[in-house]
Amino acid sequence: MLMVSVLVVIAATMTVFVFDIGSGLQSPAPNVDTSYQLVPDGSEQTIAITLAAGDAVSTERLYVVGSKDIDISGPPTTSGSGAADDQFATELETFTESSGTNPPQVGVGTTWDAGETVYVDPVRSVDGVTITVYWTSRVVEGVNPGRPRGEYSYELTRFTVGG
């Protein structure tokens, strides 16, 4: 009886120890540092988000979410399929968004590398908009497949543009 009690105590101690170690593990999400600035876009402004430092991130695993509808795009001077258009703005955009056979609008390629910038154009004013960039461990399927959530999605950065 004493041996069984000792084994139960040892098993309980080991369980607590193992789960404690597991809780300290880092998420599989990339480690990034971003910055943003506002750039002129005609009579409005566009938010330029730059990957300042950190891991290169596969663009097919990235979402950008706005507190109001946004359109992800190339620089404001871009015309055609890479230009932001309020008509196509939604709350959630993927970094691989494109129309037809055109390349993705963000124009950074298959990875978002340090020094590269993506542009997010909120409908109307940028004042007070909150932007969040998410990484998901699964490849994003479709253009706007739904809000990232759950154990497979990680918030990489979040900021609110002053108003």
Residue keyed to tokens 């340090």: 114
β-pairing verdict for 130-136 and 153-160: antiparallel
β-pairing verdict for 117-122 and 44-54: antiparallel
Tell me the pLDDT band of 110, cut-offs 50, 70 and 90: confident
Give CA–CA dist 92/85, Å, rounded.
14
**Average pLDDT, rounded, for the chain:** 80
Tell me the pLDDT band of 61, cut-offs 50, 70 and 90: confident
Give 92's contacts (C-beta < 8 A, 6+ positions apart).
63, 64, 65, 66, 144, 146, 147, 148
- What are the extents of the domains in the chain? 32-160
Least confident piece of the model among 71-85, 111-125, 139-153: 139-153
pLDDT value of position 150: 62
Q: Which residue has the higher pLDDT, 77 or 71?
A: 71
Does the pLDDT at position 154 exceed 90?
A: no
pLDDT value of position 48: 92
Give CA–CA dist 73/2, Å, rounded.
69
Q: Which amino acid is at 83?
A: A
